[in-house]
């Protein structure tokens, strides 16, 4: 189907094909191969393509050249994705032209009642794949010969993404309930063991003072030994009393 869109001034001649094949095939073999291809296709060489139906719709709707270039750009983007392999040329032509008009601001988005199921699915798939076109196609359709439609499509997708981002908005952070009387149970306080002074920093444990134990709360303390070496020795059995 590329013969409908490509230029006709660069069609190779038979002697050029011989040079390309390094003389392995002569002119008679090329003619024989062409006859074989035509017989296999049953001479059906003018099958209507997307370009054919696009031209008919453009003539009927009166679209300008920019819409035509944008639709062609969308159709070439579709060639890179398997979602459109089984899409009929008529459906692809209508969907690409309608989407091109919306991108260029020439028409409003149709209601779902105005579409059939296949056209609606094709339109949505085209719009989704427009987000990441091939860099080769972007360069091709950025020239003045194609009305610079790749830049127009890039601006359209950027605007749509910005609108969608503003519509959703940033996620509201969930309020964290903080108990001012409880610190992190896995952290160690910096000053004593007062729960109001916990800073939640993982510091080494501090040796507690004597008033942190039961004696400071009016409870009976364990008996303490006097600091006497003789008594300590006798108590632990290290010495014999004199």
- The domain limits of the chain are 1-41, 50-167
Report the pLDDT value the prediction gives residue 151, as an integer from 0 to 100.
94
Report the pLDDT value the prediction gives residue 165, as an integer from 0 to 100.
81
Report the pLDDT value the prediction gives residue 104, as an integer from 0 to 100.
93
Report the pLDDT value the prediction gives residue 193, as an integer from 0 to 100.
47
Contacts by 142-149, CB closer than 8 A, 24 or more apart: 146/69, 146/72, 146/73, 147/65, 147/66, 147/69, 147/70, 149/66, 149/69, 149/70, 149/73
Half-sphere exposure of 170 toward its Cβ, with a 13 Å CA cutoff? 3
User: What does the pLDDT profile of the chain (242 residues) look like in tens digits?
Assistant: 455 666 677 778 888 989 988 889 998 999 999 899 989 988 877 778 898 899 999 999 889 999 999 999 999 999 999 889 889 999 999 999 999 999 999 876 555 555 567 778 888 899 899 888 999 999 999 999 999 999 999 999 999 888 888 877 666 666 555 555 444 544 555 544 444 444 454 555 555 555 555 544 555 555 555 555 555 555 455 555 44
Report the pLDDT value the prediction gives residue 161, as an integer from 0 to 100.
85
Asked if 18 and 27 count as a contact pair (C-beta separation under 8 A), the reply is yes
Report the pLDDT value the prediction gives residue 175, as an integer from 0 to 100.
56
Give Cβ neighbours of residue 94 (< 8 Å, ≥ 6 apart). 53, 57, 119
Asked if 90 and 75 count as a contact pair (C-beta separation under 8 A), the reply is no
Give Cβ neighbours of residue 233 (< 8 Å, ≥ 6 apart). 239
Report the pLDDT value the prediction gives residue 108, as an integer from 0 to 100.
61
Report the pLDDT value the prediction gives residue 152, as an integer from 0 to 100.
94
Q: How much is the pTM?
A: 0.56
* Domain 50-167 top-level CATH class: mainly alpha
Give Cβ neighbours of residue 238 (< 8 Å, ≥ 6 apart). 232
């Amino acid at each position: 189907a590329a013969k409908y869109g490509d230029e006709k001034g660069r069609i190779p001649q038979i002697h050029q094909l011989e040079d390309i094949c390094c003389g392995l095939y002569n002119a008679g073999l090329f003619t024989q191969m062409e006859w074989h291809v035509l017989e296999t296709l049953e001479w059906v060489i003018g099958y209507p393509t997307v370009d054919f139906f696009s031209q008919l719709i453009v003539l009927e709707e009166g679209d300008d050249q920019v819409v035509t270039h944008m639709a062609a750009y969308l159709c070439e983007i579709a060639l890179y994705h398997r979602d459109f392999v089984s899409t009929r040329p008529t459906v692809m032509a209508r969907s690409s032209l309608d989407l091109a008009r919306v991108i260029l601001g020439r028409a409003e988005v149709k209601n779902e009642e105005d579409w059939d199921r296949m056209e609606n699915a094709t339109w949505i798939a085209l719009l989704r794949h427009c987000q990441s076109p091939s860099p080769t196609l972007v360069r091709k359709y950025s020239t003045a010969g194609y009305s610079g439609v790749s830049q127009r499509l890039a601006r359209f997708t950027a605007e749509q993404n910005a609108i969608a981002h503003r519509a959703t908005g940033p996620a509201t952070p969930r309020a964290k309930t903080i108990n001012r009387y409880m610190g992190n149970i896995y952290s160690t306080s910096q000053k004593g063991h007062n729960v109001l002074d916990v800073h939640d920093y993982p510091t080494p444990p501090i040796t507690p003072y004597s008033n942190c134990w039961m004696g400071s709360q009016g409870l009976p303390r364990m008996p303490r030994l006097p600091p006497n070496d003789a008594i300590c020795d006798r108590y632990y059995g290290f010495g014999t009393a004199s």
